[in-house]
Amino acid sequence: MNTIIYLDNNATTMVAPEVLEAMLPFFTRRYGNPSSMHDFGGDVEHDMEKARNQVARMLGAEYDYEIVFTSGATESDNMAILGTLQYYRDKKHIITTKVEHPAVLNLCRQLEREGYSVTYVPVDREGNLDVDFLFDSVTDDTAIVSVMYANNETGVIFPVETIGAFCKQRGITFHIDAVQAIGKIPVDVNALQCDLLAISGHKFHAPKGIGVLYVRRGTRLRPLLYGGHQEKARRPGTHNVPGIVGIGKAAELVMQHLSNSEEVANVKRLRDRLENGLLSQLSNAHLNGNKNNRVDNTTNIGFEFIEGEAILLYLNEKGIAASSGSACSSGSLEPSHVLRAMGVTFTSAHGSIRFSLSRYTTEDEIQYTLQVMPEVVNRLLAISPYWDAMNKKGKSMTELAH
Amino acid sequence: MWEYTDKVKELYTNPKNVGEIPDADVVVEVGSIVCGDALTLYLKLDGDVIVDAKFKTFGCGSAIASSSALTEMIKGKTIAEAARITNKDIVDFLGGLPDQKMHCSVMGQEALEKAIKKIKGETIEDEQEDEGAVICQCFGVTENVIRRVIRENNLATVEDVTNYTKAGGACGSCIPKIEDILKEELASAVAQPAATAMKPMSNIKRMQLVEETIHNVIRPVLMRDGGDIDLVDIEGKKVYVALRRHCAHCVVSDVTMKNLVEDTLKEFVENDIEVIEVK
């Protein structure tokens, strides 16, 4: 068994050994600049273009040049939204959702300060997007619709294909933040009919610091950065060659993984085993998010009467890494905006834990986590003033909340 | 990931004094499940000595550690001694807390304060009336709490106030109000004198006022210069104090005694208070 049981793969992932191996020569022997006029650099360009092709194939892109390498999904999301607004300067309306990643959400909040109007589409109690609300929000002033493919906290999948068809028909630029979908479910830009799509390498076993913005041929977009001619001047700056080679290799591995139905089913089986085990063993546990319509690696469980950061610290002692939507662990003071948007009560939002698996997660790791969790939860329940109040005095949750 | 000290880690991993005291003399609750932090404190007294203290806490690691630290600190102390404990003392006991976690130590102090009020038989009125207007609606933080924490910890920015009380940490709509309070507090580093001068004062009331004044007004001023003060005893209108840390070796300690300690006590408590320094 590993020294750390890593169940936080929606935060970041291990670099796959094959990916690391593919990258290493580009730090040592083959450090040339692909833009150089000599073979030492020029040869590297072939490897870079191979990587571009690997990513294009993973996304079902028609042309390799639709793949623009960036520093990560935060840059890709910013480039998609700001680049579109820079082109359609007379349009001042943006549509996104209440549960986006901060890379989109905080950009939109800033744009509001600068005079844009933003519609934040709500979700229901299970985290499903209100698509009709989105459709009704579109006006002639709408410059872009930006929606995530799958939510990072709950794993719930949004109907991006339906939204893509709608936007295409209305002639509105459609951007998808596919960070949490890539590597977990097949992503096909043509089925999605999106104009732009952002992914991040480190969420699918490539290193940190490399991302992609898919830009459909003909999409109107101005660059964020000005400089050299790299990436057809859409994203200037000397290429991060090792990262690019790494994300290419990781894309190839994603395609292998998704075509291996046994391996795909195994991730889901382990996730379900963990989830069902916790829900059946612990009476204060319940699932956050739509059970049936989500990516296979994620489960978000609310533990009532105890606080998420404390759970994480206790798990950490046992060598288990997970994450929480609790206020305390985030550094902000409010619990997760995603759970709040779903209308999850404060009481269970504070005690929510996200476990996110990968194709490297093993049976033993899940088994061990299932052994440890009840102990951790019961230790914290013993400290909690509310657990007692519930049991002995028969107070209801609504009474406790006042 | 937070940078917790070893002491904090020790106390959230193996918290001391967890549980209830079935025949407790005082039980108080502070915080709420909605805010994400709540503490129930149980005290057992023998005369005016706290012979046992236990707690139950809903909250993060530092909330558990702060609660545990508080109970460790007050066990065996008299009520007067315990009353002197501030959130800063809790933080010191823990070897420090991350800025964003300071509110956990404040919760400990609030529980202690509430418990002592109860012991002294002071009625804990409806909290809204007792503690002034609610400034932060999200976390239910009152004006008085914000003012007290600003004074006791010499806070200077809205961010500090948020770290210590949570106020302003959610929707942020109360930040302008917090700014106003900060401006007022900074302008009058020494607060308003108590306006209850004329009536002859009971011994209890006097002791309490002396303690509060030393604690809330004098101590923060001394601590700003690296000094400190201990209240040693009170006999009638004679107040025995000892200067600590920098003040203890300060060449102008006599001036400090006369101009700061005695004059302040005269202003806030009674005009004929006499301060005697215990070396």
| Per-residue model confidence as pLDDT tens digits over A108-134 | 999 999 999 999 999 999 999 999 999
Do domains B6-119 and B203-277 share one topology? The answer is no
The pLDDT value given to residue B197? 44
pLDDT digits (tens, 9 = 90+) for B59-68: 989 999 999 9
Per the prediction, chain B carries an average pLDDT of: 85
pLDDT digits (tens, 9 = 90+) for A290-342: 999 999 999 999 999 999 999 999 999 999 999 987 766 555 667 889 998 99
The pLDDT value given to residue A31? 97
Among the ranges given (A67-81, A168-182, A373-387), the one the predictor scored with the smallest mean pLDDT: A373-387
Nearest residue, CB atoms, A307 vs list B32, B34, B36: B36
The pLDDT value given to residue B129? 41
* Stretch B155-183: mean pLDDT: 87
Q: Which fold has domain B127-187?
A: Arc Repressor Mutant, subunit A (1.10.10)
Q: Does any CB of chain B come closer than 8 Å to the CB of residue A305?
A: yes
pLDDT digits (tens, 9 = 90+) for A215-236: 999 999 999 999 999 999 999 9
A383 and B57 in contact by Cβ < 8 A?
Answer: yes
Between B201 and A144, name the one with better pLDDT.
Answer: A144
Long-range pairs for A386-391 at CB < 8 Å and ≥24 separation?
A386/A304, A386/A305, A386/A347, A386/B33, A386/B38, A386/B58, A387/A284, A387/A305, A387/A306, A388/B20, A388/B56, A390/A305
pLDDT digits (tens, 9 = 90+) for B36-87: 789 999 999 999 999 999 999 999 899 999 999 999 999 999 999 999 999 8
Whether the pLDDT of residue A397 is over 60: the answer is no
Question: What pTM did the predictor assign?
Answer: 0.78
Q: Which fold has domain B6-119?
A: Sufe protein. Chain: A (3.90.1010)
A305 and B58 in contact by Cβ < 8 A?
Answer: yes
pLDDT digits (tens, 9 = 90+) for A73-106: 999 999 999 999 999 999 999 999 999 999 999 9
Per the prediction, chain A carries an average pLDDT of: 93
pLDDT digits (tens, 9 = 90+) for B234-246: 888 888 888 887 7
| Mutation to test the B interface, candidates A383, A388, A392, A396, most B Cβ within 10 Å | A383
* Stretch B179-198: mean pLDDT: 68
Chain B residues in contact with A331 (beta carbon < 8 A):
100
* In chain A, % of residues over pLDDT 70: 94
Domain ranges in chain B are 6-119, 127-187, 203-277
Whether the pLDDT of residue B128 is over 50: the answer is no
User: Where do the domains of chain A lie, and which CATH numbers do they carry?
Assistant: 17-257 (3.40.640.10), 261-400 (3.90.1150.10)
Q: Does any CB of chain B come closer than 8 Å to the CB of residue A325?
A: no
Q: Does any CB of chain A come closer than 8 Å to the CB of residue B27?
A: no
The pLDDT value given to residue B247? 75
B153 pLDDT band (50/70/90 cuts)? confident
B232 pLDDT band (50/70/90 cuts)? confident
CATH superfamily of B203-277: Fe-S cluster assembly (FSCA) (3.30.300.130)
A383 and B56 in contact by Cβ < 8 A?
Answer: yes
Pairing of strands B37-46, A323-324: unpaired
